[in-house]
Structure 1
Amino acid sequence: MPAHPAVPRVLSIAGTDPTGGAGTSADLKSIAAADGYGMAVVTAVLAQNTHGVRDIHVPPTAVLAAQLAAVGDDVELEAVKTGMLGTAEVIETVTAWVDGHPPRVLVVDPVMVATSGDRLLAPEAEQAMLRFCRRASVVTPNIDELAVLTGAARARTAQEALEQAEGWVRETGVAVVVKTGHLAGRDLSTTWVGADGARHSVASTRVDTTSTHGTGCSLSAALATRLGGGDSPAEALAWVTDWLHEAIEHGAALQVGSGHGPVDHAHRSRRLQAAGSAAPWLAADALPPRLADPADLAAPTPSVPATVAPVGPWTEALWAAGSSLAAEIAGSGFVRALVDGRLPEPVFSFYLSQDSLYLARYSRTLAALAERSTDPSAREFWAGSSGHCLEVEAELHRSWLAHLPAESDTAISPVTSAYTDFLHAQTLSSPTVVGAAAVLPCFWLYAQVGGGLPDIAPDHPYSAWLETYRDPGFVTGVQGALGAVEREFAAATPEDRAEAARAFLLACRHELEFFDQARRLPPGAAAGRSPSPRARSEAAAL
């Protein structure tokens, strides 16, 4: 057996939650979501739901000691995470076990103060917890617990909280993760304050939801797992912050309880599972074999209006058929994170590097389409668009990516390659109308994203890039593409129109995949960076 298995073995020591939102239930879900194997030792049995705790039973410490001994005598652990310990006797029992079985990583969630501000531990238990925290690799207090930990007044700002943490780290040599979720404001952060003086901060934004029960448990359990699997503190914190934000965003959809519901620990896993599906994007009988009239496309009412309006009945029918995919792109996690500014820079850089590779190949596709077109105005338009890709858009990419490896050093992703291969095949081996329909979504759907953008503040990290989505010159180009496609459809045979409509819808789906691909990366793999140890082990397993 390898000394460090690809799947880290992680133990949660905490209380229960029968509704699954916090405690050992949340810990085990978080450990699994973070790619670990979870185990649990129970410190207390709670009767609670989404409205609060009704009763607590603390088993004899002999039962706790027996659980710990059973695990420690048999299983080598990469990480241990502690949550609710509850009493001085429980804390001392866990302390003795930790001293006898020192874990490689010990993450302590010092459950001392509730979100309401109520103290959860008796004075002697609180003192025992303060001593126990000094054994940790890292502690993850909320703002009120940080004040108890440091003996200071409750921090009013993120800067005050960081200063409190830095003082405690210097005194104890134990790292602290500072979380600002209990402070006011829309912009949030989680910051690793290390004993070596390092500080790693990950930005996030507040989600308007009541489904936040168990976020502290979930963060610390996932953090223990990522650290136990070999991630650096910066990599682990970035992964956990992004994963937890997604879990919070989708917690309400679970519809668990009528109070403060849980987060959706498995949302990211389900999203990635869906991305790996081999199910066809478009069924063989999804479209009729002939399109004699736009009404034959049998498209529903558009789910969203087009920002750049169709120019005729055929492009109107195409938009109605593909608008649901346009709505998915606008609502995708990548686009929403890009718009609100919380998209991690490495993820954005990966997207740009792939877009640069895409444009080089897209330019060749447009040039081939220009050569095959029999419409003089369309030939001129496609040729001009091909040159624009290389002269204007590619230069914009180069300026953004100047700090990254040269384009030749950046490998093309399977998603980008599949999309460009599809476009090239449609252009070279099919009637011109099919190639024209296939290249249209790259014009139209990008303009759709731009048309839906709110006002972008000048200090937005991606403001300059977002403005390119709604550049008037680009909108003019979209209108030119729509006109060329409309004319091609009008002149084509019913059979060729049906093939072209299919190509348009498949290209729309390729666009969705292209936008979303950066959020499927393992940590450290973005923008040409070396993968983390965990990512390397995952690749080796494949």
Structure 2
Amino acid sequence: MGDTLTPHQLSIQTREYPRVLTIAGSDSGGGAGIQADLKSIAAHGGYGLSAITALTAQNTRGVQQAFFPPAQFLSQQLEALSSDIDIDAVKIGMLGTSDVIAAVRSWLQKYRPPVVVLDPVMVATSGDSLAEEDSVAELSSLFPYADVITPNAHEMAVLLGEESTEQWSVLCEQGQRLADCYKVAVLVKGGHCSGERTSDALMMPGHSEPVWVGSSERAQVRTTHGTGCSFSAALATELARTGCWQTSLERVKRWITGAINNGQRLEVGGGNGPIDHFYHVHSVISEQSARVSDVDKYLLQAQDLDMVRLRESFSEYAWELSTSIREQVNSCPFVEGLGDGSLPQDAFIYYLDQDGLYLKEYSRALGQVSIRATDTESRMFFAHGAVEAVEVESELHRRWVSRFRDSAYVTGIPSTTTEAYTGFLLARTMESYGVGAAAVLPCYWLYAEIGKNLYSAYQEYAGEHPYGEWLEAYSSEEFQTSAHQAVNFVNKIARIVSDGELISMKNAFLRACWLELRFFEEPISACHLPLRG
């Protein structure tokens, strides 16, 4: 495998939800080994399989003992899996004994998995040895079957028979020698090196310089247990999903940095604690839980409503009720940065990726509103909107995304916020025409108002605005007219529904406004960008 690699792409058939096998040891503390691998695979959208090579008695302070089941049992695990399941990627971790290495080598020779990431686990973060001395030399016999190996600084030194180093330049030289010697890509990991920042680099055989380098500020935390295991398992998953070295490495580097920085909130153990594999999910859940009252205070005031006014002037009254939410939308860093051109490109790319995924489901929601519409005019309007969302707006997204297709922020996977918003729309548009129309209205109306306001800032911009084409699309007369028509249709149905449905319409409108706010806020936080001001 190693000699067929190119600096940028892998010649494999990628899969959106790859089936990833981890061949590694078990960590009784849950922070490394099989347990960490399965968490990492799941965190990156893969389905994890496992073949256990060793059992350890360990915690965050160190490894007390390791037990190696017979190699024949490992072979039986591997055969059972590969005889039934098509495996898209393999991560190999702790092997420990010569017999186990031979069993893995025999299986690799027979099945040749599309992607193989080999993490030569020999020295734990705590400094404990995890391999028998006579197995270290034999480990290199697996290198010809790997796409990349991911040793830490200590393991690099063992493999080369040299002294371990804390100098980044020397470590890269060691990585290049290892890559050239075994004709395999080597991921050099600088976590053990000195300095305020930590770097990783991908060395390819025959190259004088790294083909990729990623750097981040050094985390001032002790939650680093299982970092190497987690990185390699995540990399195997991303390579199977994207087939691209740069995209995969950037995504994993960004993720592992956040996972390390957030590990301390798990409060596990008294030594080197584990990373938080699902920090991105935990952050969204915590933030949404803390802020749910922002919208619920509007939804729970039905007893104070002027029902006559709500029925006769639904849009005017609902617009007033949404004032606080709309003010937060207008003042959020994403919207302000989009208007004055200061928005970091990464945040805009993230938004494009998620908005394109949103539009696919929004089109379905509009289609459901059209089916439930009570008159021909509104039925045709929402049906046309469904087509527009797919053909016109999605095409605008595709044009923009094509410029950034190699970005780590183009994932094609809906975020938690995107799934929450689209799930809400699809559920509400199944209820009734009135509730469904009110739920989809903010995407017309809020966007039209934002587009109109941002277009004013765009016209005052000196020079070529980086997002000018985007702002023109949502401030166009055609889009403004569509928003006005949507408002009229919602006002029309509000006059004839029951009181209960009218309140449900108000609630659906306000909840959608709040989800729009969450959608605009997410790109800044998801890309770990600082807030302005």
Q: TM-score range by the shorter chain?
A: 0.5 to 0.7
DSSP 3-state at the match of 2:146: coil
Aligned residue in 2 for 1:257: 269
Evaluate the alpha carbon distance shift between residue 234 and residue 352 of structure 1 in structure 2; reply closer, same or farther with a 3 A threshold: same
Aligned residue in 2 for 1:391: 460
Evaluate the alpha carbon distance shift between residue 508 and residue 148 of structure 1 in structure 2; reply closer, same or farther with a 3 A threshold: same
| Alignment equivalent of 2:226, drawn from 202, 214, 228 | 214
- For the 8 Å contact 2:32–2:274, the answer to whether it is kept is yes
| Alignment equivalent of 1:242, drawn from 231, 254, 258 | 254
DSSP 3-state at the match of 1:44: strand
Distance in 1 separating the partners of 2:170 and 2:465: 39
Q: Which digits, 9 at most, give the CA deviation of each residue in 1:436-481, with x for residues without a partner?
A: xxxxxxxxxxxxxxxxxxxxxxxxxxxxxxxxxxxxxxxxxxxxxx
DSSP 3-state at the match of 1:13: strand
Compute the displacement of 1:229 (Å).
Answer: 2.4
Please give the residue correspondences for 1:29-108 in structure 2 after superposition, counting only pairs within 5 Å.
29-108=39-118
Aligned residue in 1 for 2:119: 109
1:225 pairs with 2:237? yes
Compute the displacement of 1:514 (Å).
Answer: 1.9
Distance in 2 separating the partners of 1:267 and 1:247: 6
Compute the displacement of 1:151 (Å).
Answer: 3.4
Distance in 1 separating the partners of 2:129 and 2:52: 21
Aligned residue in 2 for 1:372: none
- For the 8 Å contact 1:329–1:512, the answer to whether it is kept is no
Distance in 1 separating the partners of 2:451 and 2:242: 47
Give me the identity figure in percent.
35
DSSP 3-state at the match of 1:66: helix
- For the 8 Å contact 2:20–2:41, the answer to whether it is kept is yes
Distance in 2 separating the partners of 1:352 and 1:249: 27
Please give the residue correspondences for 1:333-352 in structure 2 after superposition, counting only pairs within 5 Å.
346-347=346-347
DSSP 3-state at the match of 1:188: strand
Q: Which range moved further: 260-269 or 187-196?
A: 187-196
Aligned residue in 2 for 1:171: 181
- For the 8 Å contact 1:10–1:78, the answer to whether it is kept is yes
Distance in 2 separating the partners of 1:363 and 1:15: 52
Compute the displacement of 1:352 (Å).
Answer: 10
Distance in 1 separating the partners of 2:193 and 2:132: 25
Aligned residue in 2 for 1:451: none
Aligned residue in 2 for 1:140: 150
1:130 pairs with 2:192? no
Distance in 1 separating the partners of 2:470 and 2:451: 22
Compute the displacement of 1:288 (Å).
Answer: 9.9
1:158 pairs with 2:158? no
Compute the displacement of 1:237 (Å).
Answer: 0.6
Aligned residue identity for 1:516? E
Evaluate the alpha carbon distance shift between residue 170 and residue 409 of structure 1 in structure 2; reply closer, same or farther with a 3 A threshold: farther
Q: Which digits, 9 at most, give the CA deviation of each residue in 1:350-403, with x for residues without a partner?
A: 56999xx9xxx99985998xxxxxxxxxxxxx9xx975542237x4743xx7xx
- For the 8 Å contact 2:20–2:49, the answer to whether it is kept is yes
Aligned residue identity for 1:47? A
Aligned residue in 1 for 2:403: none
| Alignment equivalent of 2:295, drawn from 255, 260, 282 | 282
Compute the displacement of 1:46 (Å).
Answer: 1.1
Distance in 2 separating the partners of 1:366 and 1:411: 12
Please give the residue correspondences for 1:293-312 in structure 2 after superposition, counting only pairs within 5 Å.
none
Evaluate the alpha carbon distance shift between residue 184 and residue 63 of structure 1 in structure 2; reply closer, same or farther with a 3 A threshold: same
Evaluate the alpha carbon distance shift between residue 410 and residue 259 of structure 1 in structure 2; reply closer, same or farther with a 3 A threshold: farther
1:517 pairs with 2:530? no
Aligned residue identity for 1:250? N
Evaluate the alpha carbon distance shift between residue 4 and residue 516 of structure 1 in structure 2; reply closer, same or farther with a 3 A threshold: closer
Distance in 1 separating the partners of 2:344 and 2:138: 38
Aligned residue in 2 for 1:193: 203
Compute the displacement of 1:240 (Å).
Answer: 1.0
Cα root mean square deviation, aligned:
5.1
DSSP 3-state at the match of 1:7: coil
Give TM-score scaled by structure 2 length: 0.59
DSSP 3-state at the match of 2:138: helix
Distance in 1 separating the partners of 2:465 and 2:31: 43
1:27 pairs with 2:33? no
DSSP 3-state at the match of 1:76: coil
DSSP 3-state at the match of 2:271: coil
- For the 8 Å contact 2:120–2:150, the answer to whether it is kept is yes
Distance in 1 separating the partners of 2:299 and 2:285: 25
Distance in 2 separating the partners of 1:123 and 1:176: 22
Compute the displacement of 1:281 (Å).
Answer: 5.3
Distance in 2 separating the partners of 1:112 and 1:248: 21
DSSP 3-state at the match of 1:211: coil
Unpaired runs of at least 5, structure 1: 292-317, 336-342, 369-381, 430-502, 522-542
Q: Which range moved further: 236-245 or 145-154?
A: 145-154
| Aligned residues between the structures | 385
Distance in 1 separating the partners of 2:511 and 2:80: 57
- For the 8 Å contact 1:351–1:515, the answer to whether it is kept is no
Evaluate the alpha carbon distance shift between residue 160 and residue 233 of structure 1 in structure 2; reply closer, same or farther with a 3 A threshold: same
Aligned residue in 2 for 1:407: 469
Distance in 1 separating the partners of 2:32 and 2:517: 38
1:182 pairs with 2:195? no
Q: Which digits, 9 at most, give the CA deviation of each residue in 1:476-496, with x for residues without a partner?
A: xxxxxxxxxxxxxxxxxxxxx
Evaluate the alpha carbon distance shift between residue 136 and residue 407 of structure 1 in structure 2; reply closer, same or farther with a 3 A threshold: same
Q: Which digits, 9 at most, give the CA deviation of each residue in 1:390-419, with x for residues without a partner?
A: 2237x4743xx7xxxx8359987xxx99xx
Aligned residue identity for 1:143? A
Distance in 1 separating the partners of 2:472 and 2:241: 27
Distance in 1 separating the partners of 2:49 and 2:451: 58
Aligned residue in 2 for 1:499: none
Distance in 2 separating the partners of 1:329 and 1:173: 50
Evaluate the alpha carbon distance shift between residue 120 and residue 53 of structure 1 in structure 2; reply closer, same or farther with a 3 A threshold: closer
Distance in 2 separating the partners of 1:110 and 1:70: 24
DSSP 3-state at the match of 1:246: helix
Aligned residue identity for 1:253? R
Compute the displacement of 1:154 (Å).
Answer: 2.4
DSSP 3-state at the match of 2:200: strand
Aligned residue identity for 2:58? Q
